């Protein structure tokens, strides 16, 4: 595992450019399986999660190319069943395989999902996904090495209500319903911009989908779909990460490709803390305007709320705000593990089981430390830290960049799951670091 040695205490200044959102691109790649012709996806980042999905598509007979400019082509004219051992060996670090089910059931009548990976930020069950697939008429059989699904007579549209607006389960419905027989009505759907972009892709492919008010999505099944050509939505999570990094280090970062309308909630919070931004046609400049940062109370939520993926780097910036901030995490039950390292670096962060600062959530009165109180400003000092997951890891690097002295950050490959050319971007922003071992980030 690679290590970064960071000499912190210098503001990050410069420009980074975004490509397509990890959380859209990987699903758009799966959507290509619904057609039996070629799809073209533009702005696809070179990140580990994309490599994993490309590999899975290849195992299923899809011809995938991905050039330096981020243009990916997927030729699905010869989709075939993959060998279970190959899927298993390949999928280890990703949760995307579960989304292959609907398209594979349509194309081949069966599918297999191995044990799923992904960031360790909670239990991350797949019960909603399996219930959805059963509602469409699939047979779900749990086996030792994974789950086998079959639908020899195809899938049929259904009325489905999600118990929680899960992003993945909504995508599962979309990818299964578009070619199912008849009408599907989904209530309690997630409506993240990445989902709306996936719907745009499916519409290009021939689907009939309407997004109604109050989280209702209606899909009229079609028999055949064709390949698409699409430029992926920019990565809002990466944009928010660099914005928080600018604030935490007292810096100034222009994030090329970031768009205001998809980030309104984040921008409001950024401004409340005392961060400044300027919206340009081709991106957003995020900077620390000088003076004191102010504390805030944040509750993470599904869109249009404050995204759970934005809180980790922002907590580092909040450690520099004067007073008490509260972050109530309501999407994942276990997403404050990264704060151990921040405490080690001098941040004052306490985590609680109670629902603090907002509405009671699903995790209240249970044994989940899902609220954090951050007291600032604290002087951060360098430390030896280990990256625990993607967003937590980014926040560790930001803390190390903001801290005085030397930090050693281990396990940084995890960051390359979601941030393209991470080290090049740090260099472009003037970060002072050395790579200690062979690192692919
Ligand atoms: C997606 O995960 C993203 N991942 C996550 O980003 C993101 O944090 C999350 O959506 C919320 O926006 C990808 O798109 C690849 P969910 P997903 O289903 O779809 C519970 C990152 O750092 N749930 O909306 O897996 C679940 O446990 C990653 O980029 C069930 O209970 O998230 C969670 O508490 C991390 N049963 C809640 O729903 C299920 O079957 C929301 O999860 C499915 C989910």
Q: Is the residue at 239 inside a domain? A: yes
Q: Which helix (H) or strand (E) holds 113?
A: strand 110-114
Q: What is the atom index within ligand 1 of the atom nearest the CA of 389?
A: 22
Indicate whether 45 belongs to any domain.
yes
The number of C-alpha atoms within 13 Å of 427 and in the hemisphere containing its C-beta is 7
Are 100 and 33 a contacting pair, CB within 8 Å? yes
Spatial CA neighbour of 101 closest among 115, 111, 90, 89: 111
Predicted pLDDT at 334: 92
CB-based contact 90:54 (threshold 8 Å): no
320, pLDDT greater than 60? yes
Q: Ligand 1: does its nearest atom lie under 6 Å from the Cβ of 169? A: yes
Looking at 209, 231, 253, which one is the last position of a domain?
A: 231
Domain ranges, residue 119: 22-231
362: nearest Cα among 393, 333, 400: 333
Distance from the alpha carbon of residue 392 to the mean position of ligand 1, in angstroms: 15
Q: Is 334 a domain residue? A: yes
Report the residue among 167, 174, 301, 391 best suited for mutation to probe ligand 1: largest number of ligand atoms under 8 A from its CB.
167
d(CA 339, CA 325): 14
Tell me if 185 sits within 8 A of 295, measured CB to CB.
Answer: no
181 and 317 assigned to the same domain: no
Closest among 389, 437, 436, 396 to 48, alpha carbons compared: 389
Average pLDDT, the chain: 94
Residue 441 placed within a domain: no
**Residues 238, 375 share a domain:** yes
Residues 186 and 309 in one domain: no
- Output the domain CATH number for residue 423: 3.65.10.10
Among 22, 23, 25, 45, which is best to mutate for testing ligand 1, by the most ligand atoms less than 8 A from CB?
Answer: 23
- For 197, residues 6+ apart whose C-beta sits below 8 A from its C-beta are 21, 24, 28, 232, 233
Per-residue model confidence as pLDDT tens digits over 33-85: 999 999 999 999 999 999 999 999 999 999 999 999 999 999 999 999 898 88
SS3 content of the chain, % helix, strand, coil (to 5): 35, 25, 40
Amino acid 386: pLDDT: 94
Identify whether 361 is a catalytic site residue. no
Q: Are residues 205 and 247 in the same domain?
A: no
Name which residue leads in pLDDT, 416 or 26: 26
Q: Are 439 and 10 in contact (CB under 8 A)?
A: no
Which of 182, 208, 231 is the endpoint of a domain? 231
The pLDDT value given to residue 438: 60
User: Among the atoms of ligand 1, which is closest to the Cα of residue 303?
Assistant: 12
For residues 391 and 415, state if they share a domain.
yes
Per-residue pLDDT for 11 more than 80?
A: yes
Q: Quick one: 36 and 10 in the same domain?
A: no
* pLDDT value at residue 122: 58
**75 and 10 assigned to the same domain:** no
Domain stops at, among 231, 254, 283: 231
Give the pLDDT band of residue 121 (cuts 50, 70, 90). Answer: low
Q: What is the pLDDT of residue 440?
A: 55
In this structure, are 132 and 154 located in the same domain?
Answer: yes
391 in ligand 1 pocket by Cβ < 6 Å?
A: yes
User: How far apart are the CA of 162 and the centre of ligand 1, in A?
Assistant: 13
CB 381 within 8 A of CB 8: no
Ligand 1 lined by 128 (C-beta under 6 Å): yes
378 in a domain, yes or no?
yes
Same domain, 359 and 315: yes
Please indicate, yes or no, whether residues 337 and 363 belong to a single structural domain of this protein.
yes
C-alpha 163 to ligand 1 mean position (Å): 13
Nearest CA to ligand 1 atom 4: 23
Cβ neighbours for 85, distance < 8 A, ≥ 6 positions apart: none
Radius of gyration, CA atoms only, the chain: 22
CB 100 within 8 A of CB 113: yes
- Average the pLDDT over 434-438 and give the result: 81
- Domain assignment of residue 369, yes or no: yes
Task: Judge whether 171 lies within some domain.
Answer: yes
pLDDT digits (tens, 9 = 90+) for 339-394: 999 999 999 999 999 999 889 999 998 899 999 999 999 999 999 999 999 999 99
DSSP 8-state code for residue 44: -
Are residues 183 and 314 both part of a single domain? no
Give residue 206's pLDDT: 98
Mutate to test the pocket of ligand 1, among 126, 132, 166 (most ligand atoms within 8 A of CB): 166
Statement: residue 90 has pLDDT above 90: no
Residue 24 has a pLDDT of 98
Domain count, the chain: 2
pLDDT digits (tens, 9 = 90+) for 124-177: 789 999 999 999 999 999 888 788 999 999 999 999 999 999 999 999 999 999
Q: Is 267 in the pocket of ligand 1 (CB under 6 A)?
A: no
pLDDT tens-digit readout, 169-211: 999 999 999 999 999 999 999 999 999 999 999 999 999 999 9
How is 303-367 classified by DSSP, letter by letter? TTSB-GGGHHHHHHHHTTBSEEEEEE--S-TT--TTHHHHHHTT-EEEEESS--SS---TTTTTT
pLDDT of residue 2: 78
Kindly name the residue from 101, 119, 355, 361 that is annotated as catalytic.
119
Domain assignment present for 373: yes
Q: How far is CA 398 from CA 185, 195, 224, in A?
A: 43, 29, 47
Q: Could you tell me if 352 and 224 lie in one domain?
A: no
* pLDDT of 439: 55
Query: According to the model, what pLDDT value does residue 78 have?
Result: 95
Among protein residues, the one with the nearest Cα to ligand 1's atom 34 is: 332
């Amino acid at each position: 595992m690679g290590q970064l040695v960071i000499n912190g205490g210098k503001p990050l200044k410069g420009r980074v450019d975004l490509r397509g959102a990890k959380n859209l691109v990987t699903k758009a790649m799966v959507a290509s399986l619904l057609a039996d012709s070629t799809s073209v996806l533009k702005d696809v980042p070179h990140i580990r999660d994309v490599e994993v999905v490309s590999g899975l598509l290849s195992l299923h007979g899809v011809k995938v190319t991905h050039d330096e400019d981020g243009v990916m082509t997927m030729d699905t004219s010869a989709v075939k069943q993959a060998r279970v051992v190959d899927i298993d060996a390949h999928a280890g670090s990703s949760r995307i395989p579960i989304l292959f089910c609907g398209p594979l059931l349509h194309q081949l009548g069966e599918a297999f999902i191995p044990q799923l990976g992904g960031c360790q930020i909670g239990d991350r069950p797949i019960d909603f996904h399996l219930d959805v697939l059963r509602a469409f008429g699939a047979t779900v059989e749990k086996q030792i090495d994974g789950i086998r699904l079959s639908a020899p007579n195809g899938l049929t549209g259904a009325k489905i209500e999600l118990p929680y607006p899960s992003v993945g389960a909504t995508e599962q419905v979309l990818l299964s319903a578009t070619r199912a027989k008849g009408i599907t009505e989904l209530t309690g759907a997630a409506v993240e911009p990445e989902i709306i972009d996936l719907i745009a892709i499916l519409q290009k492919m021939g689907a009939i989908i309407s997004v109604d008010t109050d989280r209702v999505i209606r899909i009229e099944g079609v028999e055949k779909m064709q390949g698409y050509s699409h430029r992926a939505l920019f990565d809002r999570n990466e944009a928010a990460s660099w914005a928080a990094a600018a604030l935490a280090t007292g810096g100034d970062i222009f994030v090329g490709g970031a768009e205001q309308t998809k980030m309104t909630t984040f921008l409001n919070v950024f401004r409340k803390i005392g961060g400044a931004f300027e919206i340009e046609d081709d991106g957003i400049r995020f900077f620390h305007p000088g003076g004191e940062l102010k504390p805030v109370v944040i509750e993470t939520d599904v869109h249009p709320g404050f995204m759970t993926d934005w809180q980790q780097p922002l907590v580092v910036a909040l450690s520099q705000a004067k007073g008490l901030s509260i972050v109530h995490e309501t999407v994942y039950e276990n997403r404050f593990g990264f704060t151990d390292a921040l405490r080690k670096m001098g941040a004052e962060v306490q985590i609680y089981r109670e629902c603090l600062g907002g509405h009671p959530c699903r995790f209240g009165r249970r044994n989940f430390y899902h609220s954090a109180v951050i007291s600032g400003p604290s002087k951060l000092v360098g430390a030896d830290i280990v990256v625990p997951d993607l967003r937590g890891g980014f926040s560790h690097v930001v803390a190390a960049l903001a801290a005085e002295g030397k930090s050693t950050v281990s396990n940084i490959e995890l960051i390359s799951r979601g941030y393209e050319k991470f080290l090049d971007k740090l260099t472009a922003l003037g970060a002072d670091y050395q790579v200690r071992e062979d690192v692919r980030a």
